[in-house]
Amino acid sequence: MASLRLTLPLLLAISSFYHSSRVGAVGVNWGAAASHPLPPPKVVELLKSNNVTKVKLFDSDPLVLQALSGSNIYVTVGIPNSMLRSLNSSKKAAESWVHDNLTRYFPNGGSGVRIEYIAVGDEPFLQSYGDQFHPFVIGAAINIQAALTGANLANKVKVVVPCSSDTFEPESGLPSKGNFRPDINKTMIELLTFLNKHHSPFFTNISPFLSYHQNKNISLDFALFKETAHPRNDSHKTYKNSFDLSYDIIVTALSTAGFPEMEIVIGQIGWPTDGAPNATPSIAETFMKGLMDHLHSKSGTPLRPHNTPTEIYIFSLLDEDQRSIVTGNFERHWGIFTFDGQAKYRVDFGRGSTNLVNAQNVEYLASKWCVVNNNMDLSNATASALEACSVADCSALSPGGSCFNITWPGNVSYAFNSYYQQHNQRANSCDFGGMGLITTVDPSLKNCRFSVGLQTSLSSSLRGSFLFHWIVLLLATFSFSSLSH
């Protein structure tokens, strides 16, 4: 695919943070929930070519950390939620984790990985998790901090805990009512006390898209920073966009808990480009431009005027076709880039913007696709499409998605091809009881892209089935059978 040079902001000087080596910036989240991920060295090349100076990971994959070694990119490594219980109960487990995932990668007079944060858990206070993780967060953070001290890294690496947007009590959705949820309020005060003691920032996620998607009181214009948006008033303060509203809810919650001056880092913020109404590249472009213009203006928020967030991490660098779609099918389309490193949209960010180039020399599988064989009996096409979508990514077929409007049997072909590419174009993965046909003619239609997989893939270990979800989704939004006549 030809290289396309685009503009995107990936470096924004805001303010010094803690000490002179930490400069406020816009970084990116680099997730790993993909069946065909770009090879880590290729992703690091993509980051470096675009002057990305900070990246946030969700784990500590050795291949990723090795690729980041010597890159001079500041890194946040993640500890999965599944590890919190053991790290909470065992200091030795924490010491082993620090040794295996930090010490051996840290610069020692030469090149290494510039790790600046350890993220303990990934949104462990998410309300849907219940008590599954949050009882272990504080103990795990304390043990990791002790292990850092033992490894003489406590003055170089900060321990943080990324918090979800539902960590806060929604009530009326107004900043003056900002509080932590009652079920975790005690834990949050313990966390803030820990963070304050060690001069660590409060990591939290803000999602204007979810606020708009789930709240009828939030208009699209309000979420997109548009001047035409109807402002909202709260305690003699005027809010002109969803970001300021969400940010000041956090500020109030911190103040109410006794930490009014705590630094805030936005760990995730972005706008999806597919899988739901108003999740498109053009709207994502509008949101990103509005966000960056707002940050560049340094106007701050009503409760923190002229005080922009210390750091912001865009969610996300790349699309991930194996992300959970419990919240919505848009979850697999947060990327600034497609799964193969191709930028989705163009934005002029003015001063501070940098030229962004796509991933170079991407190695694809052969130019082959799996489509419906129109010469066969297609009476079982519905069942076969559902089976394909139970493991492959069919999120673009959902209402509002880029492939929602393609008609039968094109939508069946999309499902077949998604399954075929995820299984590395194995011939038997395009069988579907004789209904599948391998073609070298690209079946893509308008904005609906029929992808070709990458040569380097981890698809041999496919994730769990989403069959039930897809049965409900597809039967509700499509009528394969009725359209076949």
Q: Give the least confident one: 266-270, 361-365, 462-466.
A: 462-466
For residue 281, count other CB atoms closer than 10 A to its CB. Answer: 19
| Structure-block tokens of residue 203 | 């990591």
Tell me, what's the pLDDT at 294? 93
Tokens 């990246």 map to which residue? 55
What gap in Å lies between CA 298 and CA 14, rounded to an integer?
8
The pair of structure tokens assigned to 115 is 């790790």
What's the pLDDT band for 108 if we cut at 50, 70, 90?
A: confident
Higher pLDDT, 25 or 92: 92
Per-residue confidence (pLDDT) for residue 51, from 0 to 100: 79
- CA-closest candidate to residue 9, choices 224, 266, 243, 292: 292
Class of 25-343 per CATH? Answer: alpha beta
Q: Nearest Cα to 115, choosing from 191, 63, 56?
A: 56
Q: Give the mean pLDDT of 392-416.
A: 96
Burial per residue of 354-373, b for 16 or more beta-carbon CB atoms within 10 angstroms, e otherwise: eebbbbeebeebeebbbbbb
Burial of 259 (0-12, 13-18, 19+ CB in 10 A): middle
Check whether 393 has a pLDDT greater than 70.
yes
Given the residues 45, 95, 123, 387, select the one marked as catalytic: 123
Percent of the chain scoring above 90 in pLDDT: 78
Residue 394 near residue 474, CB atoms below 8 Å? yes
Q: What is the mean pLDDT of the chain?
A: 88
pLDDT band at 485 (very low <50, low <70, confident <90, very high): very low
First vs last C-alpha separation in the chain:
38
Whole-angstrom Cα distance, residue 424 to residue 452? Answer: 9
Confidence check: pLDDT of 128 > 90: yes
Pairwise CA distance, residues 27 & 203, whole Å: 13
Band (pLDDT 50/70/90 cuts) for residue 199 is very high
pLDDT band at 445 (very low <50, low <70, confident <90, very high): very high
**CB-based contacts of 457: which residues, under 8 Å, 6+ apart?**
35, 36, 37, 424
pLDDT of residue 19: 31
Choose among 203, 103, 93, 107: nearest CA to 159.
203
The answer for residues whose C-beta is within 8 angstroms of residue 251's C-beta and 6 or more apart is 175, 178, 260, 264, 301, 303, 304
Tens of pLDDT, residue by residue over 41-58, are 999 999 988 778 899 999
For residues 129-139, average pLDDT: 96
The Cα–Cα gap between 76 and 384 comes to: 42
Give pLDDT tens digits for 165-190.
Answer: 999 987 668 999 999 999 999 999 99
| Confidence category of residue 118, pLDDT binned at 50, 70, 90 | very high
Q: Please compute the mean of the pLDDT values over residues 65-82 and round it to a whole number.
A: 97
| Separation between Cα atoms, residue 64 and residue 152, nearest integer Å | 24
Provide the residue ranges of all domains of the chain, joining segments of one domain with +: 25-343, 369-439
Quick check: 461 pLDDT over 80?
no
pLDDT value at residue 296: 85
Q: What is the pLDDT of residues 446-458, one digit of tens each?
A: 899 999 999 974 4
- Whether residue 17 is predicted with pLDDT greater than 60 in this model: the reply is no
Residues 197-209 have a mean pLDDT of 97
Query: How far is it, in rounded angstroms, from Cα 258 to Cα 249?
Result: 14
Q: Side chain identity at 365, as an amino acid letter?
A: L
pLDDT at 353: 53
Res 114 pLDDT > 90: yes
* Residues constituting the chain: 485
Compute the average pLDDT of residues 286-291. Answer: 93
How confident is the model over 124-153, as a mean pLDDT? Answer: 97
Beta-carbon contacts of 223 under 8 Å, excluding residues fewer than 6 positions away, are 208, 209, 211, 212, 241, 242, 287
Range with lowest mean pLDDT among 22-36, 77-91, 93-107, 222-236 = 22-36
At residue 468, the pLDDT reads 42
The single residue listed with the structure tokens 């590419």 is 421
Higher pLDDT, 458 or 254: 254
pLDDT of residue 110: 66
Based on the residue annotation, tell me whether 95 is a catalytic residue of this protein. Answer: no
User: Is 80 exceeded by the pLDDT of residue 361?
Assistant: yes
Token digits of residue 190: 């313990």
pLDDT-derived band at 348, boundaries 50, 70, 90: very low
pLDDT higher than threshold 50 for residue 112: yes
CA distance 296 to 13: 9
The answer on pLDDT for 6 being more than 50 is no
Cis before residue 316, ω within 30 degrees of 0?
yes
At which residue do the structure tokens 């003015």 appear? 350
Q: Which two tokens stand for residue 446?
A: 């308008």
Burial of 111 (0-12, 13-18, 19+ CB in 10 A): exposed
The closest of 93, 90, 85, 141 to 118, measured between CA atoms, is 141
Q: How confident is the model at residue 382 (pLDDT cuts 50, 70, 90)?
A: confident
The tokens describing 362, both together, are 């991407």
